[in-house]
Amino acid sequence: MRDNEDLLGGMGGDQLDGLIGRLLADGYAVMPGYFSLPVVQALRNEAMERDGLGEFRLAGIGRRQEHQQDTRIRSDRTCWLKGNTLAQCQWLEAMEQLRLQVNRALFMGLFELESHFAIYGPGDYYQRHMDAFNGNNGRLLSVVLYLNEGWQSEWGGRLRIWASPDDTVVATEVEPRAGTLVAFLSEKIPHEVLAATRERYSIAGWFRCNNTTADWLDPPR
Ligand code: OGA
Ligand code: MN
């Protein structure tokens, strides 16, 4: 793993160990500086470029037939990663290391990753939700990487996290600072994106189990 340290932008095994320890203890992990600034900058530039090309769409809720847009629940715009640039490969490689370690340590059976860029414009939000219910979409572990250099607390845009599905007391809030990686159990951790006064860039990803059965191929989107 350490051989890849440059490629992963400084991320070493210690960070990954720490992340797994937090996941095990709390069901979520907040890791500032998980990705180095050059990688984060490259990813943000790609997001801005693809936004300029009109590739972002109003985000939806649910998958396939159930897919719908509801701006009362969320109002961000998203664009799926294609894995076709160096920076995206660095993201994917770091997530692959994470996947292997988590499977080794926690036996989670993470199989594949889907991830998209997200842009929250000023005033955009995503109300309290969970990323999966009772295995409905196969999502097991959620990850979010923030791409905002020089983010100021007073700009808002924090990710609010509760410790378990029925909790009413907030467990923690995370500022969307460049390089911070958050990981949490998709079916256990409710969370909410608070509105910001500036544009807020991130990548959100979900590791899914293998839903393929003999008579039905479950395609990643
Ligand atoms: C999501 C999500 C969190 C964030 O896209 O499902 O909860 O901080 N994102 O962007
Ligand atoms: Mn979410």
Give the start-to-end residue ranges of the domains of the chain: 2-58+71-208
Asked whether the beta carbons of 64 and 35 are under 8 A apart, the reply is no
User: Residue 8: is its pLDDT beyond 90?
Assistant: no
CA distance 128 to 9: 32
Residue 111 predicted with pLDDT over 60: yes
CATH topology of domain 2-58+71-208: Jelly Rolls (2.60.120)
Question: Is residue 85's pLDDT more than 80?
Answer: yes
Ligand at minimal distance from the CA of 116 is 1
> Angle 187-193-199 (CA atoms, 0-180°, nearest 5)?
140
What percent of the chain stands above pLDDT 90?
77
List Cβ neighbours of 43 (8 Å cut-off, separation of 6 or more).
87, 88, 91, 117, 145, 147, 203
Predicted pLDDT of residue 221:
53
Pocket lining: 102 vs ligand 1, CB cutoff 6 Å: no
The C-alpha atoms of residue 64 and residue 143 are separated, in whole angstroms, by: 21
Lowest mean pLDDT among 34-48, 53-67, 70-84, 167-181: 53-67
Q: What percent of the chain has pLDDT over 70?
A: 85
Q: Higher confidence at residue 69 or residue 75?
A: 75
Q: 204 C-alpha to center of ligand 1: Å?
A: 6
- Judged against a pLDDT cut of 50, whether residue 1 lies above it is answered with no
Q: Which atom of ligand 1 is nearest to the CA of 174?
A: 8
Distance CA 147, CA 42 (A): 9
End-to-end CA distance of the chain: 29
Q: How far is the CA of 211 from the centre of ligand 1 (A)?
A: 23
pLDDT at 176 over 50: yes
With a CB cutoff of 8 Å and minimum separation 6, the contacts of 11 are 5, 34, 35, 36, 94, 97
